[in-house]
Structures are given as C-alpha cells and as structure tokens.
Amino acid sequence: MNYERLRIPDVVLFTPKRIDDARGFFSETFRQDAFDAAVGPSTFVQDNHSYSEDAGIIRGLHFQRPPHAQGKLVRVVRGAILDVAVDIRVGSPTYGQHVTAMLSVQNWQQLWVPVGFAHGYCTLAPKTEVIYKTSNYYSPADDLGLAFNDPALAIEWPVVADAARISDRDRHHPRLEELQQCFRFGEPTMQS
C-alpha cells in the first residue's frame, strides 16, 4: 500500500495495490501494520457506508468533539467524490486551512482524516457510495459541524454553494470564527 502526505502532512492519501485481470480485481484495502507505519498506532471501531443518489450532494463538514473525537479513513466503492479535510486544531500552523483529494472507484485511493479535522465531501457522480472506518464510535451528543460555505475556508466545491444539495442541519453549522474550540495543536490525541 503506497501513501503520500498532503500539504497538511497529518492528512494522508493511501493508494492500495489492485490486481486486475479478466475476472475483475483483488485488493487489500486495509492493513493495520501499513496504516500504523504511515500515521501511527490507531484502532478502528466502526465502519460507515453512505449512499448519495445524485452528483452535487455535499455532506459535511463534520467532526466529533472529545472524548468521542474520530479519525476517519475514507474510500469510494462506487462513483467519485471531492473529499475535504479542514484543520480545526487551535494553534496549528495550518489552522483553518484545508486539503482536498478526489477519491473514486477508478483511482482506488483512500484519505486519512485525523482527529482535529472537520471532514466533508461533494459527490461527483450519481449513485456514489462512500465507506469509511472511524477510530471512535458515533456519539450524537458530540457530533458537530463547520459551515461548508464559510468564505474564510475558501473551499472550491465543484458546485455553486447556493445550488448544492445539502441537509438542513449542514446548512446551519457555524463559521470557523464562531466554532467551538475542541482541539489544540500539539496536545496528544487518541486515534481510538
């Protein structure tokens, strides 16, 4: 499994090897030892599966606050997404900055979004399915969000923000300047 650190080096793009032949393909999509070598020890406790009927659907930007903060390993098994991770760690040299990656069934890449980042994506194809592992269980009481269209973030979504298909909940998340400060850069975080 190959990997590369993105402009914000805590966010890592993985490319699992895939063996194709006339029958189809085989791929090791996750190896704990390879993952730990790239990002450090982590344990995953939950897998989530999301389906979006149309292109142009934005989900996010989401995160969970401590003690239920989550790291996420995101991959696409059908369709394609523009995946976004925003650094929300107070004191980080990249606080408020984001990185993006296009994940698709064709490129077979996966994005590691660590604790301390808000995460979201926009579907680029109809009938897109996203699967992601999380390093902590879902906690409704700790589920928070960041405004996907905050001008301070300068995210170039592939759809016009006013025309984006997004949940009512996601339309009402606070902007970065109003965000509850849950993470501090340099403080130890549990990935699990």
Q: Could you give the residue numbers annotated as active site?
A: 62, 132
Backbone angles phi and psi of 176, in degrees to 5: -55, -45
SS3 of 72-116: the string is EEEEEEECEEEEEEEECEECCCCCCCEEEEEEECCCCCEEEECCC
Place of tokens 């975080």: 189
Spatial separation of the C-alpha atoms in residues 161 and 42, rounded to whole Å = 35
Evaluate whether 98 touches 86 at the Cβ level (below 8 Å).
yes
Spatial separation of the C-alpha atoms in residues 41 and 111, rounded to whole Å = 16
